[in-house]
Structure 1
Amino acid sequence: MVQEAIHLLEISKAGTYIDCTVGYGGHARNILSQLSINGNLIGIDRDKEAIKFCEKKLYAFSNVRFFHSSYSKIGEILSLSKIRKVDGMLLDLGMSSAQIDSKNRGFSYKIDSALDMRYDITQELKASDLINNSSQNELADIIYTYGEERRSRSIARNIHRMRPINSVQNLVEAIRISTPPNKRKKTLARVFQAIRIKVNNELHILEDFLANFYDHLSLGGRIVFICFHSLEDRIVKHGLKRLALGKKMKILTKKPLIPSKEELHMNSRSRSAKLRAAERIL
């Protein structure tokens, strides 16, 4: 949903923008193409591989600066950049295809590898650590809370019984024996989502950001979120609504935008995307 995001940001040629989840630079390149030499872009990502890729891909642009960090540290990053406020922020909360298709990151249940699932590989906690060191009840709660999976108790019981779980295939097998065949793909996706969210503390980071981003957005500045599951979309929806009720932000998308048929044809992974946008008015 690149074009929709860029359109809603209403980019000013001399403005300053933050791509809070720069990934492999798709949105960043589009923002930079609309900025003059007087405009600036800051790109943030927890994935060091993504930052290295962007530094090479976008080396021709002198008005972009990248940070290997979390978007929750936006205040520190702006302070280092000697910037008080920005004109727009973009958060694409989905995983990149490079992460999903990686043969050693463990994000996909379709590719056997070590169970890592860290966005930031300098972080100590891996998915295998979480799975092998949590109690059965803790595992069940994680799967239910972050995956909204009804079979969380039986899955957690089988994971606990089959430990140590160190590979994607180990985890897939524990889920397989816990689920009927016709429900298995959705359950696999939910369990992998739940563990990834917990390992990377995704929802708490998003909540912290929603509580603080307003102070760093200029009057008239805009923010765009692209969410890929109901948990994060709900957090964004309620966070923006609170700011709108306080007359601080104007919500620009009464209902979230969803991918067009053309985009779905080109990128089936975008099917669950929902885009929300708002503008600072106070």
Structure 2
Amino acid sequence: MEKLQIKGPYNFDLVLDRLSLDPLNAVDKLNRSVKVPLLIDGQPIAAEVTATGTTEKPEFNISGLEDPYKKKAMKRLTHIFQWHVPLEKIHAHFQNTALKKIFDEHYGTPLVLDFDPYSCLLKCIIHQQLNLAFAHTLTERFVKTFGFQEKGVWFYPPPEKIASLTVEQLRQLQFSGRKSEYVIGIAKEAAEGRLRFDELDMKSDEEIMEELIRLRGVGPWTVQNFLIFGLGRPNQFPTADIGIQNALKKLYNLERKPTIEEINEYKKSWAPYLSYASLYLWRSIE
């Protein structure tokens, strides 16, 4: 078992609240733990992260890691849970903004990534234009039909598996025909080596937008969500996101959703942490 101490604030209980929204995640709120599916050098690993500290003094036990994958697995977990990001500095940035109350209410909420960039992109495609409840149901069907389970955690199906599927097989799960084509198309790009997620992480936000936007079914909203939850980029704000628009409507007591021009004006003072502004706005209505 590995033990880890990081600098606070870091509220792992709020992390578990958000992770528990997805039925695929193996969350145990009582024991303050979550099992994390990791693919390290093609090897499936079920790591378990358990909080033992407080928001101000965060401490964790990490189990399920074995040599020769332990070092890479810890590096990946650090990236997923953003243990290296100083939240105190980010919290202070928002104290003189309209988001102060939300940041105080959700104090110490980190930007936690999806467990794998490839599965994050697929999930973004599946979630397009769906309400959150059905989006999670559809994703759960997809993973439990074509993915696999290891030590109590579910792994998304690998690109090679999805690339071999037909549109009709996904339509049987209640995918639309077009969404089926998009998911299979992205899997083919990854399986045939044209879409490399390890290389994406070394590129700028603008370069990633330019590369992914060429894929069928991928628009700006999808790329922005992928940049936030797939790669952990700190300064993305999906202006067209309905949830963010509703959160801003609530925040500013508007009778209608804000216009794009109004949103662009609101967000000026939130840079360079727009991804955190997005996260806390989502949290304010979840």
TM-score for both structures, normalised by structure 2? 0.30
